Amino acid sequence: MSDQKSAFSQLQYVEQDRSAPVKKTLHSDFLRTGRIDRSRPNWAPDEKRYLTYEEVAERTGKILIAAGQKTHERLNTFHRSIQFPKLLFHRTLTGTPHLGYCHVTAAKSKFAEYADVNWAFYIANFFADIASDGLKFEQINMRAERMYFAVAMENNPDKKLVLDKKVRGNGILFRTNDPKTALKNVLLLGAKQEALRRVIRAM
């Protein structure tokens, strides 16, 4: 883990220009026409511009929130009896602003043998182990581009997320990189009727 952190600390981020390459150069235009086109940028399209961590974090956040919005819409359009509150916010990981997670929704539901479980559902743009002492990530795998997970939460007056370890011993309801599996698991948490649960399980 220390080697991974050391590698992350040396990361640099370069802005990619996705526009079509400009074939003509400013000086060739000037020699050909005697005029300078001031509407064009005065830098070459292949020049590197290094992004600050803050800029990377902002871009990551926008992508995560957009993904969270789409995920929430999919959940709430499945069946009119299953409606989750939209509670979108994101966090990027310290030192690696291109990695982050988005809180999508939260509710209280029956889960397995547990009568009332306060839980929250998240998506992330990486896959990792979730530490049981809080929402901390270990063994981060960036080759896996996504992770969907839900955790049980204790009632905390300080509003700090504390995993409820009484649930499954670590507070983790599920963790997967498969969006269909994640959708089914969250819908099962929201379904009240057994008939609807059977439909969801058969998906």
What is the residue-averaged pLDDT of the chain? 82
91: CB partners within 8 A, 6+ apart: 100, 101
| Stated pTM of the model | 0.77
Rounded distance, CA 95 to CA 53, Å?
8
Among positive and negative, which fits the CA dihedral 41, 43, 45, 50?
negative
pLDDT digits (tens, 9 = 90+) for 78-123: 999 999 999 999 999 999 999 999 999 999 988 777 778 999 999 9
- Residue 66 pLDDT: 96
Residue 40: pLDDT band (50, 70, 90) is low
Q: Are the C-beta atoms of residues 172 and 139 closer than 8 Å to each other?
A: no
Q: What is the dihedral of CA 192, 132, 53, 100, to 10 degrees?
A: -20
